[in-house]
């Protein structure tokens, strides 16, 4: 039995944005390889219903729930229902997120507000709804918040998304300290997830711009789709995240080049350099 299976096996995992990409990969690994019961939360009800059916057919325990993380009441109802009907939550994954392409000054206000409501507020609503219940349970539990390699860097034509992932990383680092300050460090474990290139549909569904330089926004989308073609399978990423979490890591990273990005960010800050504009094709670094 692996360390991850020993820690997480038999527990309940709640995953927002579970219908596709990293969320679905985490759900499949948790249910099929670790023996967890997974609560699949997403606004895409058809996607999580199909995933629940897939997992149940394989003999795993799964529940699908329609949930919009922009609504704090929806997260509260999800937490209440999960504890009452499924059991205490061992792992909360605040994963739901969206992208936005285009120059910041061209970004529609509605797109900006939607992205912040999902990527940042959604994480906060999840913590507000679930963490008090997790703190009240005697067993150990884990909170994972999805940042990104973008949370330790800068990139043009993705400013809203990059900003949101910096915010989630800072929120998670502060939350880690607060849990320790409140005397729960050995009880509730807070960890930041920083995927590099992991396959998902986030680029296809990303917001665009309605006015201004529409072509630049679309060109950047196409560049990022080339990254997706080289990206890591979500199930493989899930295995890495769970193994690192079980080992007690705080920053859960999918690929070694995420660590390189973290080191580059630290060097930029220490030497007070302006962010460097990278030229050429977007590619996934060789392992």
Residues belonging to the active site: 161
Q: Are 102 and 208 in contact (CB under 8 A)?
A: yes
What does the CA dihedral 128, 112, 260, 201 come to, rounded to 10 degrees? 90
- Residue 247 has phi, psi (to 5 degrees) of -80, -5
CA distance 253 to 240: 8
Tokens of 45: 């009800």
Per-residue CA distances from 1 to 4, 5, 25 (Å): 8, 6, 21
Closest among 66, 59, 95, 97 to 81, alpha carbons compared: 66
What single DSSP character describes residue 119? I
CA distance 148 to 202: 13
């Amino acid at each position: 039995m692996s360390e991850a299976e020993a820690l997480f096996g038999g527990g309940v995992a709640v995953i927002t944005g579970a219908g596709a990409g990293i969320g679905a990969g985490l759900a499949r690994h948790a249910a099929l390889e670790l023996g967890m019961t997974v609560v699949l939360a997403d606004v895409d009800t058809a996607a999580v219903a199909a995933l629940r059916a897939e997992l149940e057919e394989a003999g795993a325990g799964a529940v699908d729930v329609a949930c919009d993380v922009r609504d704090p009441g929806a997260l509260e109802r999800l937490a209440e229902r999960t504890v009452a009907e499924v059991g205490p939550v061992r792992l909360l994954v605040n994963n739901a997120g969206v992208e936005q392409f285009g120059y910041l000054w061209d970004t529609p206000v509605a797109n900006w507000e939607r992205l912040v409501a999902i990527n940042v507020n959604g994480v906060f609503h999840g913590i507000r709804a679930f963490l008090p219940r997790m703190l009240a349970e005697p067993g150990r539990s884990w909170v994972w918040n999805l940042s990104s390699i973008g949370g330790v860097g800068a990139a043009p034509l993705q400013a809203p998304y990059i900003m949101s992932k910096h915010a989630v990383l800072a929120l998670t680092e502060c939350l880690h300290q607060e849990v320790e300050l409140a005397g729960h460090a050995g009880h509730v474990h807070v960890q930041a997830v920083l995927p590099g290139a992991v396959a998902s549909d986030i680029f296809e569904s990303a917001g665009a711009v309605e006015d201004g330089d529409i072509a630049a926004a679309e060109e950047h989308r196409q560049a990022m789709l080339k990254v997706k073609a080289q990206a890591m399978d979500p199930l493989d990423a899930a295995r890495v995240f769970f193994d690192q979490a079980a080992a007690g890591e705080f920053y859960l990273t999918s690929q070694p080049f995420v660590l390189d990005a973290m080191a580059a960010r630290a060097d930029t800050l220490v030497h007070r350099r302006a962010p460097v504009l990278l030229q050429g094709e977007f590619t996934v670094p060789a392992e």
